[in-house]
Chains A and B, each alone.
Chain A
């Protein structure tokens, strides 16, 4: 019993930095995982990835002027994310190029630019901080920011839920009954950027999208309705956060990758064992009902 306590609870009870890390990660799951579900359902999984890269130069400019400070880097990241999202959207609407190609072009430029700017002032250690985050070093500013982003996301998601579902399920129908389609799309993209920026301090620009997409992709194998899918994704994300932090503590692993890898294991298990996963699918294939 004590061994179980030592393993599961002691790290969080004894150390303030572990409590902060846990709180930050759980709050992030609460807002990022539902966003991930909608990104996946709109076939924009890779867009999330691209947006995560796009944040980098903005954060890097913040770093260039203020060092490793959360507020300037966040604001910089937010601006860069919005510019790239709007830029890629504009290119796809105004030219013959589709959004995936313009998005790829923008994020590759952004990534190279970001790494360049960080290197001008910082060391490789700083670069690692920006790219992969430091969930164990979340300070009060960072936690407040994450909580704020989580609140905004949940409120807007509740308000626009019906429009977002309609826009995903049947966009042409939504256009025929309402003018909300385009605004909802931009609110949604804005929230994606906001959540990536929120995850950036904890998990870095490259990994923050992992907490968004992996639980969502895993939840797809368990649910057949979008609401439950969001709840299951959040639960999987939270479980992965706890497991990842514990592994990182006991085995001295870097915390960000430990969390994302835990989510990755959840994804692989769901793919195999989920109610709509490979195993169930196989079993069902050789049995059928009379009607």
Chain B
């Protein structure tokens, strides 16, 4: 278990007692790079929120090493672009895990912020106000903040949305670098070509986990077809789910759930 960064035990996450991630069991190896894929509404972002702890599980549990540092780049950032701050101020937020509320930002810290900015190709942008950044530049700046956070577990929720191909290439290179540094990375991605090319492992969600493991196996046509056949809408009259009826205890393989078979 020690080499697992993250373990899901029969995890169900959702809203208003409707599941958005249903009975997920499995583990994320430390140092692995996993693409989380699936249609809109399949529970990818919900899983991310659950791991960060913003959303509490409806059932089951997520085990994470409490000492591990986590960095989370949400799909819908609540960043206020009109806030009067410079790019440096934004990236310096990433120093929080190290310095917290009251710790002084040292010369080293400032140097690491500068370094992060040049690492994402934003040299010389430090003094610009954040309301002058384009979409792609903002995404680079947010990646710089993740760099500064120096986290063991990195969660990126659709980081390539509305980003041009050159920026995508740069950001993917950055993710590869993190992978080389043995950090654990989960990325929500829609572009399956990108997944095949750069991500060794994948988790295919359709509310239930459909497949999880080696990317080439996960992306087999049969899995993709099954992932497409799920109902996005909630059923208000769905019966209550009783987990003990349909849960295999002691089965820790990445497996798709019995529900899937039954639903078809």
A180 touches B78 (CB 8 A): no
For B65-78 the 0/1 string (1 means CB < 8 A from A) is: 00000111010011
In the complex the two chains form, is B72's CB within 8 Å of A169's CB?
Answer: no
Contact A229 B84 (CB under 8 A): yes
B162: CB under 8 A from chain A? no
Is B174 engaged at the interface, CB distance under 8 Å to the other chain?
no
Q: Mark A158-184, 1 if CB is under 8 A from B, else 0.
A: 011011011011111111111010000
Interchain CB contact under 8 A, A169 and B101: no
CB of A231 closer than 8 Å to a CB of B: no
Q: Which of B70, B85, B97 contacts A225 (CB 8 A)?
A: B85
How far, in angstroms, from A41 to B85 measured CA to CA in the complex?
11
Q: Are B96 and A175 in contact (CB under 8 A)?
A: no
Please, how many residues of chain B have a CB less than 8 angstroms from a CB on the other chain? Answer: 25
Chain B residues with Cβ under 8 A from A41's Cβ? 80, 83-84
Choose the segment among B1-9, B33-41, B86-94, B227-235 that binds chain A (4+ C-beta atoms closer than 8 Å). Answer: B86-94
Asked whether A180 and B90 contact (CB < 8 A) given A168-B80, A169-B85, A171-B78, the answer is: no
In the complex, are the beta carbons of B101 and A159 less than 8 A apart? Answer: yes
- A127 to chain B minimum Cβ distance, whole angstroms, is 39
Closest A residue, CB atoms, query B82:
A41
- Give complex CA distance A175, B79 in Å: 12
Are A168 and B54 in touch, CB under 8 angstroms?
A: no
List of B residues within 8 angstroms of A226 by Cβ: 83-85
- Tell me how far the C-beta of B62 lies from the nearest C-beta in chain A, rounded to whole angstroms: 15
Check if B54 sits within 8 Å of A169, measured CB to CB.
no
Tell me if A's interface is mostly helix, strand, loop or mixed.
Answer: helix
Q: Is the CB of A169 within 8 A of B80?
A: yes
**B52 at interface (Cβ–Cβ under 8 A)?**
yes
The residue that A224 contacts in the complex, of B71, B84, B97, with Cβ under 8 A, is B84
The answer to whether A173 and B93 touch across the interface, beta carbons within 8 angstroms, is yes
B102 within 8 A of A: yes
A172 touches B77 (CB 8 A): yes
CB–CB B78/A176 < 8 A: no
Q: Is B78 a contact of A170 with CB atoms below 8 Å? A: yes
Q: Are A168 and B96 in contact (CB under 8 A)?
A: no
Which residue of B has the minimal Cβ distance to A160? Answer: B101
What is the total of A-B residue contacts with beta carbons within 8 Å?
71
Closest residue of chain B to A223 (Cβ to Cβ) is B84
A163–B96 CA distance with the chains assembled, in angstroms: 9
Interface residue from A159, A170, A180, A229 paired with B79 (Cβ < 8 Å): A170
Residues in A neighbouring B86, C-beta threshold 8 A? 224-225
Give the residues in chain B near A159, CB-CB below 8 Å: 101-102
Q: Given A170-B93, A173-B93, A224-B129, does the pair A180, B101 have CB atoms closer than 8 Å? A: yes
Contact of A175 with B54 at beta-carbon distance under 8 Å, contacts A166-B93, A166-B96, A169-B93 already known:
yes
**Residues in chain B near residue A229, CB distance under 8 A:** 84
Look across to chain A and name the residue whose beta carbon is closest to the beta carbon of B100.
A178
> Which chain A residue lies CB-closest to B72?
A176
CB of A221, distance to nearest CB on chain B (Å):
11
Nearest CB of chain B from residue A248's CB, rounded to whole Å: 33
B96 & A169 in contact (Cβ 8 Å cutoff): no
Complex Cα gap A223–B77 (Å):
24
Given the known interface contacts A163-B101, A166-B96, the answer about A176 and B54 at a Cβ–Cβ threshold of 8 Å is: yes
User: Min CB distance, A68 to chain B, in Å?
Assistant: 41
Contact B79 A173 (CB under 8 A): yes
Residues in B neighbouring A225, C-beta threshold 8 A: 84-86, 89
Q: A170 to chain B: which residues have CB within 8 Å?
A: 77-80, 90, 93
Give the chain A neighbours of B52 by CB distance below 8 A.
175-176
A157 to B: closest C-beta gap in Å? 13
Chain B residues within 8 Å of A175, by CB:
52, 54
What is the bound-complex CA distance between A135 and B196, given in angstroms?
Answer: 72
* Bound Cα distance from A15 to B54, whole angstroms: 58
Nearest neighbor of B70 in chain A, beta-carbon distance:
A176
How far does the alpha carbon of A224 sit from the alpha carbon of B128 in the complex, in Å? Answer: 9
Give Cα A32–Cα B186 distance, bound, in whole angstroms: 44
A159 to B100, CA, bound (A): 11
Please give me the residue from chain A that is nearest to B131 by CB atom.
A224
Residues facing B in A37-93 (CB within 8 A) are: 41
* Residues of chain A contacted by B129 (CB below 8 angstroms): 224
Asked if residues B97 and A169 are in contact (CB atoms below 8 Å), the reply is: no
Check if B54 sits within 8 Å of A178, measured CB to CB: no
Nearest B residue to A158 by beta-carbon distance? B102
Residues of chain A within 8 A (CB-CB) of B100 are 178
- Which residue of chain B lies nearest to A177 when distances are taken between CB atoms in the complex? B96
Please give, as numbers and ranges, the residues of chain B lying within 8 Å of A178 by CB-CB distance: 96, 100-101
What distance in Å separates the Cβ of B186 from its nearest Cβ neighbour in chain A? 14
A-B contact pairs, 16 of them (CB 8 A): A41-B84, A162-B96, A163-B101, A165-B89, A168-B83, A169-B79, A169-B93, A170-B93, A173-B78, A176-B70, A176-B71, A176-B74, A178-B100, A220-B84, A224-B84, A226-B83
User: Besides the contacts A178-B96, A224-B129, what 16 more A-B pairs have beta carbons closer than 8 Å?
Assistant: A41-B80, A41-B83, A160-B101, A162-B96, A169-B80, A169-B83, A169-B85, A169-B93, A171-B78, A173-B79, A173-B93, A176-B70, A224-B86, A225-B84, A225-B89, A226-B85
